[in-house]
Chain A
Amino acid sequence: MSERSAASGDSVFGASAFERTLDHRLPPRFIGSRMRLLVLAALLGCVGTFLVMRWLAASPALDAVFQAGPQGQLVLVGSDLPALEDRIGQHLVAVVGADGSRVGLDALALQRAPRWQVDDDRRVQQVQQQEALARAFAGGHATLVFADGQQLDVATPARGYAGLGLLFWPLAALALLLYLIGIVVVLVRPQGRNLLYVVMTLCQAANLLFIALESMRGLGLPPGALANALMPRLAFDLCTAAAGVHAFALHPRRVPHANAIAAAAWATTLLVLLLAQAGLLPGLWWFAQGTMLLLGTAALLVLSWSYHIEPNPFAAVMRRFGGIAAGTLLLVTVGVAVSAGQPGVPHSIAVIGSVIWYVFFASLLLLVPFLSRSKQVLREFAMLAGISTIATSLDLLFVAIFSLGQFTSLTLAVFFSLGAYAAARQWILNQMVGTSVLTTERTFEQLYRVAREVQEQPTRYAALLAQLLRDLFEPLEAVRVDRAAAQSLVIGGGSAMVVPVRTGSSDNPNRPPLALVLRFAHRGKRLFSSEDARLADRVVEQLRRAVAYDQAVERGRSEERQRIAQDLHDDIGARLLTLMYKAQSPEMEDYVRHTLLDLKTLTRGLAAADHRLSHAAAEWKSDLTQRLTAAHVQLGWSFETDRDVRLSVVQWSALTRVMRELISNAIYHAQATQVDVTFSLVGTQLTLSVADDGNGRDPQAWAHGLGLGGVRKRVKLLGGEVRWRENLPRGIVCEVRVPEFLAKS
């Protein structure tokens, strides 16, 4: 656990948050009991849904489509029953049941959700109307009384599965899906925060089932279906809101006084529910909406606070989602309130609005666990949310306004929603996950630039990679950890990403594995997705390739240099040797020997890539000692450097030749008895002085032949200067000074 402590020490945002992200790096696998629990839960959900369907299918109903008339009448607009076909356009005023009870009807019969009934009296009236209808239809047939006084006896058989309506199936499926996702989330990681999520999903799934129930076409619902719908739906709504506040107080970061905030939210909910149950709240709808909006605002405030404390992009994204949900809720509330009491079309639209809002909210809930999984998944869910919302709304609108058949309206709705989604897709995505500032062009440019830099300086690989990742993802924080990772990984629900920088090698304990943890992408405004992880992997791969390429090129160069060196040494060296042995005069012999030595220096320089200064100095000293001893000259050697650097081939061969040439001069031309060599490399400045006590005089007057000219040339190559002056009491001093020796490398 050493890496964790090291990492948490580096984190600016507090140790606990960091440990949490690292801890949850790998989700526990589904094994054994959990898998069985999931299967059981899925089975239960299916059975439950099926029971609801059975219950609905068994209830008697009148298979006809009605619409609200301008004065609040109930207008028959279509029916599959042959007896009703010629009554289309008539106003239905009452239904007489088989037992003789008469139920007066108006457009209120079309409004199903007591939860969304603004007026208390109308809610009671509506529920009574539906209950009476259920009783009237229970006998198997009923008499319809129209406004013109005509009566028609029709059969009211059980609705049957086919009569559940086209809207029922998708809503029930969505409810089931939501329920399953909730179960999966809590089973993957059973902990408090996820329980809150499950509370929200279960409440919304139940809400969706209620909406599905209320979407039945025609007249007639099971007895008690609406009478008992008010309190559960109110409870579901308020519990969802309270759970939301509670969840955001804990996640992504526990805010101060989280418990108090959660307690306040739950207490408010409980209070409203108890008062509603006791019937102490006149204008119940207003209280319900007010409480929901209050809790929604509270949730957004908590999120903002949490983001302020720690800019986790999860909070930013959730705030965006929450803002949209609360905003639409407000709009729906206003719409319903304005249209309340106005019979006819406007009211229908308002009612539809509430349904749309529930579907939309359910889609958002579905989306939350998948935020960081992949943009692909995100896109799919965004599409699902958008399409289902728009399709539902259009479907209901068409049914309500244009009195279209259900099938026609559904086709049209799907067509329009697909078009609308295609047009607004990019905008929706940007709104949901934040915009990425880096264009493809810029990404490519940066990757290319860094790859080139890495090729030039492979040792800076880790630093350059870190810099590139910072530029790409703009994280608020990048922490190095000693942890091996096979590939990039998104952790902490998208708030952080681990990118492997290098793998450790067992034979080199000095290079432990290294990974980079990037936290809070795009300055805490965006979540990491698994696509980001793949991109990071590609970047790492690309840079590694650049380095490997560079190494291959260097190997190729080195092999070629060695081949040239080998050829030069073997062929030209052997010829020069023969030439030397056959030299006519000692001068000629020395000259050829000198050439041979230069050739050997050249080939050694070619064959070796670089030389340590300390090693080179040892060779120089040993070589000079041998040569000077053979010529019976004393060597005074002083070598000083503050660090051991690596000499490039050029530097090594230049210094070697300069030194050899100067010593040769001292031996053969000056007939010295003592040579003092002083070498120092302090900072970046190199100074070399060779002083002899020979008979040389007046160096300014020298004709610079091949030897001294060579010295000048090589010192110039190193970027320095050389000068000769008379030594005291006798001899010559040659001083070489290279101010920026190390910078030239």
Chain B
Amino acid sequence: MAVKVLILEDNPVARSFLCRVVRESFSDANSITEAGDLETARRHISLAGGASGLHGVDPFKLILVDLELPDGNGMELLAELTHYPATKIVTTLYSDDDHLFPALQRGADGYLLKEDRFEVLVEELQKIVRGQPPLSPAIARRLLTHFRHGSGNESAPDSGFMNTTGFNTSRPVPIEKQPDHERLTPRETEVLTYLSKGFTIKEIASLMGIKWFTVNDHIKSIYKKLNVSSRAEAAVLASKQGLV
């Protein structure tokens, strides 16, 4: 059975390039649907069973989403597709974690940098589909902060200067205690700490005395928790605003 793939990318040259990458990555005969903006992508997804994918009528298995699109941001689509049973990958030029961390929180399974070489992209894509999420040191740092503070907003870095000028922002103290299932285990924290220092998965495995795929499992578990915690956050926010 053919793997259904959706590629959302406004630049036609880049779109055809990504098509080549996808074809190269999977030997299965795959059917690729291309979309140039969010509107088109939404139409294709509703045709293939709706955003929740519950009807089960042959949903997309792989979705590549660009972030900057003519009619909006790819993040919106990611947020709509939290329950969609597909591997969602962000393809972008932005490699800074300010763009990528929110995408990961909204359920992206990985990201590809469009300027990478063809071979590199193919390899990365295969890794992601096999279930190895991306982790840069900066993202690992963000994850650590996220789970330590229980919320996404980082405290402002200490400017090294006192707050005399009057515009001090009093940080609200989080009232809700984090549920236990969103906490990281000590092992996971350790993995993240090593990652944030730039160690590779193989190095971490040898440092911690475990197999590399165990490290991988930890990372996957962290991502699951990230999505859960993001969803829990969204729920808390919604109930606060009287939406639920």
A residues adjacent to B (C-beta < 8 A):
458-459, 461-462, 502-503, 505-508, 511, 544, 547-548, 551, 569-570, 573-574, 576-578, 580-582, 593, 596-597, 600, 604, 607, 614-615, 617-622, 625, 629-630
Contact = CB atoms under 8 A, between A and B. Distances in A.
Interface stretch (B9-17, B214-222, B228-236): B9-17
Given A502-B164, A511-B162, A578-B14, A630 B138 contact: no
Question: Taking chain B's interface residues, is the majority helix, strand, or loop, or is none over half, making it mixed?
Answer: loop
Given A459-B160, A573-B93, A577-B115, A625 B165 contact: no
**Which of A462, A506, A574, A581 has the most B CB atoms < 10 Å from its CB?**
A581
Contacts of B94: 569
A561 to B, nearest CB: 14
Given A574-B11, A577-B93, A577-B115, A622 B160 contact: no
Nearest to B196: A618
Interface residues of B, number: 35
Given A459-B160, A578-B14, A607-B96, A621 B198 contact: yes
Contact of A615 (B93, B138, B161): B138
B119 interface: yes
B139 to A, nearest CB: 10
Contact of B68 (A505, A570, A596, A621): A570
B183 interface: no
Contact of B161 (A459, A578, A617, A620): A459
Given A574-B11, A577-B11, A600 B93 contact: yes
A374 B5 CA distance: 83
Given A547-B161, A578-B11, A593-B117, A620 B198 contact: yes
B136 interface: yes
B76 interface: no
Interface of B: 11, 13-14, 16-17, 68, 93-96, 114-115, 117, 119-120, 123, 136-138, 141, 158, 160-165, 168, 170-171, 196-200
Contacts of A621: 137, 198-199
Contacts of A578: 11, 13-14
A618 B68 contact: no
A615 B97 CA distance: 13
Contact of B198 (A459, A507, A617): A617
22 contacts: A462-B162, A502-B162, A502-B164, A505-B168, A506-B170, A511-B162, A551-B161, A577-B14, A581-B13, A581-B17, A582-B13, A596-B115, A618-B137, A618-B138, A618-B196, A618-B197, A619-B136, A619-B137, A621-B199, A622-B137, A630-B119, A630-B120
Given A458-B161, A551-B165, A622-B200, 10 more contacts: A462-B162, A502-B164, A505-B162, A569-B93, A573-B93, A596-B115, A614-B197, A617-B198, A618-B137, A622-B198
B161 A581 contact: no
A503 B94 CA distance: 41
Contacts of A618: 137-138, 196-198
Nearest to B161: A458
Nearest to A462: B162
Contacts of A625: 198, 200
B201 to A, nearest CB: 10
Contact of B164 (A544, A574, A622, A629): A544
A621 to B, nearest CB: 3
Contacts of A582: 13
A600 B93 CA distance: 9
Nearest to B93: A573
B14 A615 contact: no
B8 to A, nearest CB: 16
B13 to A, nearest CB: 5
Contacts of A503: 162-164
A551 B161 CA distance: 10
A581 B164 CA distance: 53
Contact of A544 (B68, B95, B165): B165
A576 B93 CA distance: 11
